[in-house]
Structure 1
Amino acid sequence: MKPTGTDVAGLIARSSPAIRRRDAETLTALMQEVSGREPTTWGTIIGFGHCHYRYPTGTEGEMGLLGFAPRKAATTIYLVDGVEKYADDLAPLGPHTTGVGCLYIKDLEQIDLDVLRGILTRSLAWAEAGGSEGMRLTLLG
C-alpha cells in the first residue's frame, strides 16, 4: 500500500455515522501528538509516518507507523506490532474488540485515552526501533 495523498479533512468529513467523524478528529490529534508526524491518507486509512516492512517469508510492502480508519461499524486502529502484546492494557482500555493487528472501537468517548496513548506510544517505539525478527521495518518518513 502507498500513501494516496487525498485530503485528510475530506476523508473525515465523508465518514459516517457522525460519531466516526468525531472520533476521527480526536484520533488524528492524538496520533499526531504521539508520532510528531502529519496525517496522510492511505486510501481510506489515515496514517502517521511511513515504513517499509519485510517478513522472513519475503512478503513486503509499505504502511503507516500508526494509523486508523473511520469505518461505518467501528473505528479501526492499526498496530504494526499486533495487539497480543498489549493484553494487560486492553482490560482497562474500555469497550473494544480486536483482530490480530487491529483495535475496533465504536465510541472513543468510552475509551481511556491515556491507556490508548500508552499503547500507541509503545507501538510506535517498536516500529521506530526497526521491528523484530518476525517483521523488519525501515522508516521512510
Structure 2
Amino acid sequence: MNKTVPTDVPVEAFVQGVEPARRREEAERVVALLTEVTGVEPVMWGPSIIGWGALHYRYATGREGDMPKVGFSPRKAQLTFYGLKDTPEGEGLLPQLGTHTVGAGCVYVKRLDGIDLEVLADLAEIAFARGDFDATAG
C-alpha cells in the first residue's frame, strides 16, 4: 500500500510550519505559482508533499497507486519537486531551469532565486497535462 496519499491537513498550515523563514517564504511563492499554473488547489500528500492533481500508475511488477501530477516539498536542505522530469518534454526543458540536481523521480533546488520561475511554470504545466502511467501496456 502506498504511504503517500492525500490527507486532510491544510496546505497553509503545513507551509506556516516550514523552517527556516527563508524556506517558508520560498514555499509560499512556489505554492502560489503552481496553483496558478495548474488551476487547482493543492492538497497534502502524506506528511510533507504538497500536490496538484493526481494520476494513477501501474508497473509491470503489479505495483500500482496514485501520486500527484505535480508535487513539491520544502525540505530544510533543498526544495524538492516531483513529476517535472517524468515526460520527454519535461526532461528536455530541465537544463533551462537553472541550478538544480536530479534524483530518480525528483528535481532538487537549493535556492528558489537560483532557477528560472518561468521554466518551472512550464515544467509544471507539462507535468500537470500528462495522463495516467501504465508500464504494463504495450
TMscore range, shorter length: 0.7 to 0.9
Q: Distance in 2 between matches of 1:83 and 1:16?
A: 32
Q: Report the CA distance between 1:19 and its aligned residue.
A: 2.1
Name the structure 2 match of 1:114. Answer: 118
| Pairing partner for 1:12 from 9, 12, 15 | 15
Divergent runs of 4+, >2 A: 80-92, 133-136
Which whole-Å deviations, capped at 9, do the CAs of 1:36-55 have from their partners, x for residues lacking one? 11111112111111232211
Read off the aligned partner of 2:69 and give its amino acid letter.
L
CA contact under 8 A between 1:92 and 1:115: conserved in structure 2? yes
TM-score (norm 1): 0.82
Residue 36 (str. 1) matches residue 61 (str. 2): no
Q: Distance in 2 between matches of 1:15 and 1:83?
A: 30
TM-score (norm 2): 0.84
Aligned residues: 133
Unaligned 5+ segments in structure 1 are 137-141
Quick one: structure 1 residues 104 and 80, their matched pair in 2 at CA, closer, same or farther if it must change by over 3 Å? closer
| SS of the residue 2:107 aligns to | strand
Q: Which moved more, 1:4-13 or 1:75-84?
A: 75-84
| Pairing partner for 2:105 from 101, 104, 129 | 101
Identity level (%):
41
